[in-house]
Amino acid sequence: MRLSSTIRQHPLLMWGLAIMILLILFGPVMSNFVDVQGVKLGSGMPEVPPSAEYPLGTDTYGREILPVMVVGTPLTLRIGLIAGAIGLSIGIVLGFVAGYFGGWVDTLIKGAADVLLTVPGLLFLVVIATTLRGAVSVNMMALVVASLAWMWPTRTIRSQVLTLRERQFVLVARLNGMGGFEIILRELIPNLLPYLAASFVSAVGSAILATIGLEALGLGPQNEPTLGMTIYWALYSTAILRGLWWWWGPPIVVIIFTFLGLFLITLGLDQIANPKLRRVT
Amino acid sequence: MNVGYVLRRFGVFLIIIWLAATLSFLLPRLAPVNPIREKLLQAVSFGGAGKTDMEAVVKNYEAKFGLDQPLWRQYVLYISDMARFDFGISISNFPSKVIDIIMRALPWTIGLLLVSTLIAFVVGTLLGALAAWPQTPIVVNLLLTPLITLSSIPFYILGLILVYLLAFSLRWFPLSGGYNQFTIPSLNWAFMMDVLHHSILPALSIVLASIGSWAIGMRGMIISGLGEDYITFAEAKGLKDREIFYRYALRNALLPQTTSLALSLGYIVSGAVLVEVVFGYPGVGTVLYQAIRLFDYFVIYGIVMILILAIGLATLLIDLLYPLLDPRITYQGR
């Protein structure tokens, strides 16, 4: 049980994982207790504060906020997980190819990643999402966001591969006659697991950040009650200035816990990958 | 400084701009129905008072992009328009040029971003460096923990909370806008104070939410530098702690820190766009938000182009300033 003891030795990682597991379970578990029909427009009285009938109140359009959270949280997490997984997969392929083979392939891949990193991702996504507007589904949203989620994974994996490549055990493997791809699969990937995990977590985090941002600007799936769309509708109806805190409060709490959970996991994985940092945190 | 390096770096800058322009040319044309034409025609079919206006816009659009011409000519036309900052005419705000709308909003954004990013960068870097230093009082680390926690949430989420607490509940700050709507913008003391008063909350949400990330990066850099030989040597020479900290540890960690500033400018601008939306701040973020609501494609593409251009210029500038920070870098061809 090496994994569970590693987790227990790193409280930050443990707390982060606990928060994320609770968030992931929140939707599926709560949907057994909450009538998810409440997400429909006009299913309740408009703008009612939290009460026995509507535990988290309702918005201007008569949607009940609790069911909106129950349905919306898994949708937003799904976008993040799909986009993060795609981003990491592209990053692994490009990072390993660039780092291990080097040469002009490396120059090209590193150049592309660096150029795209300096560009404000959200704005590029705004252009893409504006074009698709009206026809965006949750899965399409994930694809749009994934199109810019691969640069950081590519960069970190590439630089780790560069240092690992020169190690003795890689040389031994090469002298034993292993081919390039076999070395990557059998020697490099196992050694990079903490970095791959950290890349995945940060890719999921930035994907969620991007999708919530796009949605808050009004470029999300108009008919799905994701967290970002809930914030968009709240901003659209100036819910803050009218004191409707129960409308924008719950999505914000869920978003804060999502980022907090991902952040704690990143910090924990960082401690595993660079033990030097641990004495301060 | 090596001329070849400057040229190469400038080339990368041009590629970014070209990519952005090409993307905004291709995407509407790759879509099954060109959304811009669709929107224009829809606006025309609404008829009513604006009808003649809209027909003029459609005519302008078709002539401008030469829609009857082959694709490559359209592309050349488009790129040369972009190069002259001619983004066309606003659909929702008919007679105004897109570039004029952007130029009115841009100073607000640049002012807000410049000040808040500088404060966050300087304070965060110093705090992070102190946190890694063994002689630092424990207070700094205690102060840093909540800031690092805040750095994990997006600027505008923090902004929403600040508006509710400090502007809506406590009424210390105005709820939205960049200045009092009933005053006429002018360069006098009262107006400047009004602008300042309005900008504190948006700036605060950017500063509070980004100090922590600068501190984390800096702390990591200093810690990995502390074991280096030059620190041991400086200690052996009998230099004062303060001097070792400022001249050896801090200075050497500044370069990677500046690199990450250049790399995160895009992220900061994306975040600030949403902060402006939350606060109704009169910068390009708010204009973008309204343009998206009204399907005003020319304004959307224009803002994206201008912001990408601005960020490209800023990163170019930072990259060219490296030798000042670190004399070892002279950009001699390797």
User: Is the confidence at residue A85, as pLDDT, over 90?
Assistant: yes
B221: closest chain A residue by CA? A277
| Closest among B254, B253, B252, B259 to B315, alpha carbons compared | B259
Residue B333 has what pLDDT?
Answer: 45
Which SS3 state, helix, strand or coil, does residue A193 take? helix
Q: Which of residues 212-241 of B touch A (CB under 8 A)?
A: 219-220, 223-224, 227
Return the closest-CA partner of residue B288 out of B299, B275, B272.
Answer: B299
Rounded to an integer, the average pLDDT of A90-114 is 86
**What topology does CATH give the domain A66-252?**
MetI-like fold (1.10.3720)
Interface ipTM: 0.80
B-chain CB neighbours of A130 within 8 Å are: 35, 292, 297, 300
Residues of A in contact with B152 (CB under 8 A): 259-260, 262-263
Shortest CA gap A93–chain B (Å): 23
pLDDT per residue over A68-80, tens digit each? 888 889 999 999 9
Q: How confident is the model at residue A162 (pLDDT cuts 50, 70, 90)?
A: confident
Question: What's the pLDDT score for residue A88?
Answer: 92
Give this prediction's pTM.
Answer: 0.83
What is the pLDDT at residue B100? 85
User: pLDDT value at position B38?
Assistant: 66
Chain A positions touching B315 (Cβ under 8 A) are 118
Low-confidence ranges of chain B (pLDDT < 70): 1, 31-68, 93-94, 178, 180-187, 327-334
DSSP A241: T
Which alpha helices (DSSP H) does B165-296 contain, by range? 189-226, 229-237, 241-243, 251-279, 284-293
More confident residue, B64 or A23: A23
| 3-class DSSP state of B87 | coil
| Tokens coding B209 | 């939410």
Q: Do A218 and B289 touch (CB under 8 A)?
A: yes
Query: For chain B, how far is it from start to end, CA to CA, in angstroms?
Result: 13
Q: Which of A19, A118, A244 to mutate to test the interface with B (most CBs of B within 10 A)?
A: A118
pLDDT, averaged across chain B: 79
Question: In the prediction, which pLDDT does A4 show?
Answer: 78
Domains and CATH numbers, chain B: 3-83 (no CATH), 100-325 (1.10.3720.10)
* Averaged confidence pLDDT in chain A: 83
Q: How confident is the model at residue A257 (pLDDT cuts 50, 70, 90)?
A: very high
B contact test, residue of A12, A130, A236, A256 with most B CBs within 10 A: A130
Q: Which residues make Cβ contacts (< 8 Å) with residue A280, sequence separation at least 6?
A: B131, B132, B141, B219, B223
Q: Answer with the residue of higher pLDDT: B305 or A130.
A: B305
Quote the pLDDT of residue B36: 66
Query: Touching check for B290 and chain A: CB below 8 Å?
Result: no
A262–B contact, CB cutoff 8 A: yes
Domain boundaries defined on chain A:
66-252
Smallest CA–CA distance, residue B288 to chain A, in Å, is 8
How far apart CA A26 and CA A74 sit, in angstroms, is: 8
Confidence at residue B102, expressed as pLDDT on a 0 to 100 scale: 87
Cα–Cα distance measured from residue B285 to residue B274, given in angstroms and rounded to the nearest whole number: 6
Nearest CA-CA distance, residue B111 and chain A, Å: 18
pLDDT tier, A81 (very low <50, low <70, confident <90, very high otherwise): very high
Give the burial class of B108: count Cβ atoms within 10 A of its Cβ; 0-12 exposed, 13-18 middle, 19 or more buried: buried
